[in-house]
Amino acid sequence: MKIEVTKEIVPVIEITGEVDYFRAPELESAIDDLILDGNRNLLFDFSKADYIDSGGIEVLIGTLRKISKVGRLNFVSSNDDVVRLLDLVGVSRYSTFSLFSSKDEAIEDFKEVLKKCQ
């Protein structure tokens, strides 16, 4: 697993490789730093990630709770298995979670949302 955080209209967390139980804390602390900095809208780019286990799912659900109703988590993946798993464990049922198949679409969506906030 490799994590890269960049700043676009919202922070983008790009993950490469496999997110598992023992690597998840690293991901969690990167997210916590962003939340501590006041960010409530986050983009997870999973395009280059092809595996996530219950440890990674726990971090995703934890993040959804931390950003609660005020934030949004846009998640980019077109990996069928990852998408199926998010559905199985119920992540996709959170109202603040949205799935996109490309980063561009996920950013467009944030632009729309943030426009409404102004």
Partner 1 sequence: MPVTDKKCSVNNEYAFASETKFLQQARNLVAEIATDCGFSEQIVFDIKLAAGEAIANAIEHGSPNGKSNSIKITCYCENDDFIVIVRDEGRFKKKLPVGTGDNVNFRGRGVLIMLALMDKVIIDETKSGTSVHLSKRYR
Rule CB under 8 A: say whether 32 interacts with partner 1. Answer: no
Place of tokens 């602390």: 29
d(CA 85, CA 80): 9
| Minimum CB distance to partner 1 smaller for 88 or for 114 | 88
Contact yes or no for 98/74 (Cβ under 8 A): yes
Rule CB under 8 A: say whether 94 interacts with partner 1. Answer: yes
Binding segment for partner 1 (CB under 8 A), chosen from 8-16, 29-37, 41-49, 56-64, is: 56-64
Rule CB under 8 A: say whether 22 interacts with partner 1. Answer: yes
Burial of 110 (0-12, 13-18, 19+ CB in 10 A): buried
Rule CB under 8 A: say whether 95 interacts with partner 1. Answer: yes
d(CA 20, CA 79): 16
- The residues binding partner 1 (CB under 8 A) are 18, 20-22, 51, 53-55, 57-58, 61-62, 80-81, 84-85, 88-90, 93-96
